[in-house]
Structure 1
Amino acid sequence: MKYNHKLRVATNTKLNDSYFLLTLVPEHNEVRLSLPEIKPGQFVQVLTDVQGAFLRRPISVCDVDYERQELFLLVQKVGKGTRALASLQPSDSLDLLYPLGQGFTLNDLPDGEYRPLLVGGGVGTAPMLYLARCIRESGIVPDVLLGARSADLIVMQDRFSRFANLHCTTEDGSLGVKGFVTSHPTLREGDFSHIYVCGPKAMMMAVASLARQRNIPCEVSLENTMACGIGACLCCVENTKEGNLCVCTEGPVFNTDRLQWFEQK
């Protein structure tokens, strides 16, 4: 079920020059709400208070703490809308349409056989945190592999370490293994039952190719351009083996077996 709520900004934390983390609570004008059920991989549509901005901005759910009733959004500053979000102050409100889309598929294997690897790059790091939390709360410690150009762009390491075994790669070698995530031995040699990925398309395709070679099921969270978020405008369609599908309603998470990535020439 979708909801249109105004949530209050509890904190707005600058992580570096590119990213900031919003903490939202379901409280507006002294009216106390409760966060709905949100699955890892789902997203929200945010209405920004920017002149001339008519469309909501899609943002992945970064984390949810139901005990504290807090919703976290990791945002990258790229334009007027996200810069407006960066200027939000505690007690400001934010209009959300949520939760939207289809999330990741969690454990469907017998005990001891579910060995997940979560791979995130850039702002694609965001949905991996909530996924890691949900897997950890089920009693399994996942492995998480994060990649970025440099150490300062690897964000939320402390948060990930609460839920997972954390591995990092940087292109300049300033943190973890030097190179891309596809060069990390955890990905190339680890014994995993599932791989989950979000990040730049080239990275996701490279990881999906490795997973395919090793016969490991792989799910990716696509970041196609979205407008409406509800399947009406058709601007986010992805070519799949089932035809053109709206990423906002049929995704953003897809098993790579459904995509045409490896059939395209």
Structure 2
Amino acid sequence: MFPGQFVEVSMEGVDGVLLRRPISINFVDRTNNELWLMVAMVGKGTRYLGQVQVGDVVNCVLPLGNSFTMPNKSSERLLLVGGGVGVAPLLYMGAEMKRLGVEPTFLLGARSKGDLLELDLFSHYGRVCITTEDGTEGEKGFVTNHSILKKETFDRIVTCGPKPMMMAVARYASQANVECEASLENMMACGLGACLCCVEKTVKGNLCVCKDGPVFNVKQLLWQI
């Protein structure tokens, strides 16, 4: 399993929920043989997952999709930008980078201090910069308003989170002439590219996020940035 890949989780036993739920791989603990998933309980299916107890059996298909591009030299300066629950795959990315001798910079955003996730874990693997929309933690504003973007330069950016945020990050990357990868969170069903419900418009035509992604170089995406 590689950073950026995801899991399709079955909702067996949940009335009225037929489709699997795609969830990013948050972390892989090989020492304890654990796979971590971060779940926002926003609907019937995810509320079910939030109630799963130790010893319960969960039907999963994994790993699915492609992955983030890993650094090829220890001096590479990477910025990992996440918003809300979209920070999930960046923890595993950061851990794998640290294992390769690269310490990334995390730029994490949320609406408020209480919405920030896993800050103590992120700090194990790199420098953490924070923004909140209400200013209750870190700098006030959106991730693209953080002062670090004016003070420092980066070789590559990886981002995951709400699409408007990722589009803003892509705009910054374009202006700064920095390569940028985005992990898309389109609605998915099959996870194999058969149902076509997760199609994204790209320079190569309509591609399935589940099969051809979820990670794309933002230059491939037909975003109006």
TM-score interval, normalised by the smaller of the two chains? over 0.9
Q: Which amino acid aligns with 2:223?
A: W
Are the counterparts in 2 of residues 116 and 194 from structure 1 also a CA contact under 8 Å? Answer: yes
Question: Could you tell me which residue of structure 2 aligns to residue 61 of structure 1?
Answer: 25
Are the counterparts in 1 of residues 5 and 63 from structure 2 also a CA contact under 8 Å? Answer: yes
- Bigger CA drift: 188-197 or 122-131? 188-197
Give SS of 2:49's match: helix
Q: Does 1:222 align with 2:172?
A: no
Question: Could you tell me which residue of structure 2 aligns to residue 167 of structure 1?
Answer: 129
Deviation at 1:111, TM superposition (A): 4.3
- Comparing both structures, which one devotes a greater share of its residues to strand? 1
Q: Deviations over 1:11-45 (max 9, x none)?
A: xxxxxxxxxxxxxxxxxxxxxxxxxxx11000000
Question: Could you tell me which residue of structure 2 aligns to residue 134 of structure 1?
Answer: 96
Q: Does 1:248 align with 2:214?
A: no
Q: Deviations over 1:186-219 (max 9, x none)?
A: 2343221010000111000001100110110000
Task: Choose which of 12, 18, 39 in structure 1 pairs with 2:2.
Answer: 39
Are the counterparts in 2 of residues 181 and 187 from structure 1 also a CA contact under 8 Å? Answer: no
Q: Alignment length, in residue pairs?
A: 224
Matches within 5 A, 1:139-218: 139-218=101-180
Which structure has the larger Rg? 1
Q: Which runs of 4+ in 1 moved over 6 A?
A: none
Structure 2 stretches lacking a partner, 5+ long? none
How well do the aligned residues superpose, as a CA RMSD in angstroms?
Answer: 1.1
The CA distance in 2 between the partners of 1:146 and 1:164, in whole Å, is 12
TM-score (norm. length: structure 1): 0.83
The CA distance in 1 between the partners of 2:210 and 2:89, in whole Å, is 15
Q: Which amino acid aligns with 1:218?
A: C
Deviation at 1:67, TM superposition (A): 1.7
Question: Could you tell me which residue of structure 2 aligns to residue 33 of structure 1?
Answer: none
The CA distance in 1 between the partners of 2:222 and 2:20, in whole Å, is 29
Q: Percent identity?
A: 53
The CA distance in 2 between the partners of 1:127 and 1:235, in whole Å, is 22
Q: Deviations over 1:210-258 (max 9, x none)?
A: 0110110000000111011100000000000000000000000000111
The CA distance in 1 between the partners of 2:224 and 2:87, in whole Å, is 24
Are the counterparts in 1 of residues 74 and 100 from structure 2 also a CA contact under 8 Å? Answer: no
Question: Could you tell me which residue of structure 2 aligns to residue 22 of structure 1?
Answer: none
TM-score (norm. length: structure 2): 0.97
Question: Could you tell me which residue of structure 2 aligns to residue 102 of structure 1?
Answer: 66
The CA distance in 2 between the partners of 1:223 and 1:253, in whole Å, is 10
The CA distance in 2 between the partners of 1:157 and 1:199, in whole Å, is 16
Question: Could you tell me which residue of structure 1 aligns to residue 54 of structure 2?
Answer: 90
Structure 1 stretches lacking a partner, 5+ long? 1-37
Question: Could you tell me which residue of structure 2 aligns to residue 25 of structure 1?
Answer: none
Deviation at 1:93, TM superposition (A): 1.3
The CA distance in 1 between the partners of 2:158 and 2:148, in whole Å, is 14
The CA distance in 2 between the partners of 1:70 and 1:186, in whole Å, is 34
Give SS of 2:168's match: helix
